[in-house]
A and B are shown apart, each in its own frame.
Chain A
């Protein structure tokens, strides 16, 4: 059975490349949301196996979205991987301290992104 992943990112280009990667390279089912608010709704609706969550978004940013996901019993157990273009180590530590499964970096290689995610989540 194919894995089901929700991508939450306000940037259309990043979201579409990530979806292309997960769908065509790994054969996973992908759901998309372009904001934290929409992401919370999609997570409740689809209950994906994992969530790929952008950090910097207008309105509800990634860390806030993550905390909201953890507050809701329906979504609290879904593994979340943060996606960020921030390269400073202080930012990276701050994100890792949130309690997410992993912090992945933009730009990512679309050919290896599914392997990265699978590795982090033990989907071997």
Chain B
């Protein structure tokens, strides 16, 4: 029910459709952030993660954690938060958890790809 007795401008299916359109619009940007995380994970696995790359990955993970749940991807938010925490480690030279980062980034890719524009909102 809409607050303050304002008429809801759309029904739930209409809202869901509008949200799907936004997902279509922003999915390339979201996928790009996931790609950044995959690159950082690969670099970490090769012991070649730079500080700039780690900071970029931390920022991308933070943004993904904030947005994926708004599109119904609660699991995506949980994965992104774990990546954000991993990337908050002090220095890339002592970075541990490369394997975990690779796994999380891969799972995140799957979650993002699984959200269809048709309105399927996996949790």
Contacts and interface: CB of A to CB of B under 8 A. Distances in A.
A14 B23 CA distance: 11
Interface stretch (B5-13, B35-43, B90-98, B109-117): B5-13
A14 B67 contact: yes
A103 interface: no
A54 B86 CA distance: 23
Interface in B15-31: 15, 18-19, 22, 25-26, 29-30
A106 B66 contact: yes
Interface residues of A, number: 31
A44 interface: no
Contacts of B29: 12-13
Contacts of B26: 12-13, 16
B3 A123 contact: yes
B115 to A, nearest CB: 13
Given A17-B71, A26-B2, 12 more contacts: A3-B6, A11-B66, A12-B29, A13-B22, A13-B30, A25-B8, A26-B8, A28-B6, A106-B65, A107-B65, A107-B69, A118-B4
A26 B3 contact: yes
B66 A24 contact: no
Interface residues of B, number: 31
Contacts of A14: 66-67, 70
A114 interface: yes
Q: Of residues A27, A108, A123, which shows the largest number of chain B Cβ atoms within 10 Å of its Cβ?
A: A27
A3 B25 CA distance: 27
B62 A56 contact: yes
A109 B67 CA distance: 10
B68 interface: yes
A111 interface: yes
Contacts of B54: none
Nearest to A9: B66
B43 to A, nearest CB: 24
B81 A114 contact: no
A111 B13 CA distance: 12
A14 B22 CA distance: 10
A23 interface: yes
Nearest to B30: A13
B77 interface: yes
